[in-house]
Amino acid sequence: MTAAGSSERKTRIAIAGASGRMGRMLLEAVANAGDCELSGALDREGSESLGQDAYAFLGRRAGVNITADLRQGLAGTDVLIDFTRPEGTLAHLAVCRELGVRAVIGTTGFSEAQKAEIAEHAKHLGLMMAPNMSVGVNVVLRLLDMAARALNEGYDIEIIEAHHRHKVDAPSGTALAMGEAVAGALGRDLKQCAVYGREGVTGERDPSTIGFATVRGGDIIGDHTVLFAGTGERIEISHKSSSRATYAQGSLRAARFLMKHGAGLYGMNDVLGLA
């Protein structure tokens, strides 16, 4: 495997979930990237898109057909970009490990056991995993760390997130990452202080908690707000996505990063030089 995305050849990228909303956005990003080329397009068994040219929806040809055969779809690939479901991603990573293919993981909703499995794969592969590939979101995570340290007394912290009706996990991976950023800055364990729902007579709010509120509806791509509510003032740090293109561009940036680094589990802070 060539170690870097140099001028000698383009970085060969495979896309998982190729017929989905995010998959198509990733395909379009690869098609328009001068330093990348599509090497594979994967989708689940039974998908109506199987056998079609991956760029057909763009009115052009990639010369790569969508397949459910992992080894066929990953053959000759440098980096797999995967925004699917936890079980599917783990199946993909097992084959990536066999073939020596790096992976950018945008899938969310992993259990702790599944995260441990990913960490094990990262001992042998370069993996970049983040709940949100947006450059803006990852800058917001750094701002939240700063805000939480300064507003560590007298402020109640609530995280509100909204996504489209098709999203299957809640709270979103990005909301949880924001909670982790705030909890870490405050020296708390999010597992111990998170409140994910309120109903009935809940009593007064425990000031040590971090609350989450989830909205699902329509075609909302992704809105996140962290509210610091004090006496006489509120500070809100928000990020709103108007297009999945920002996730696709961040994913390509992560793929380029992996081409220059060895085995390990990286995050967007590493990609952006914020670590």
Q: Which residues are catalytic?
A: 163, 167
State the maximum Cα–Cα separation within the chain, in Å, rounded to a whole number: 65
- Neighbour tally for 121: CB within 10 Å: 18
Question: What's the number of CA atoms in the CB half-sphere (13 Å) around residue 226?
Answer: 25
- Neighbour tally for 68: CB within 10 Å: 15
Phi–psi pair at 110, nearest 5 degrees: -70, 145
Contacts of 65 (CB under 8 A, 6+ apart): 41, 50, 51, 52, 53, 54
Q: What is the end-to-end Cα distance of the chain in Å, rounded?
A: 27
CB-CB contact of 113 with 244 (8 Å): no
* Nearest one of 115, 55, 105, 54 to 81, comparing CA atoms: 105
* Nearest one of 172, 183, 164, 173 to 242, comparing CA atoms: 164
CB-CB contact of 212 with 175 (8 Å): yes
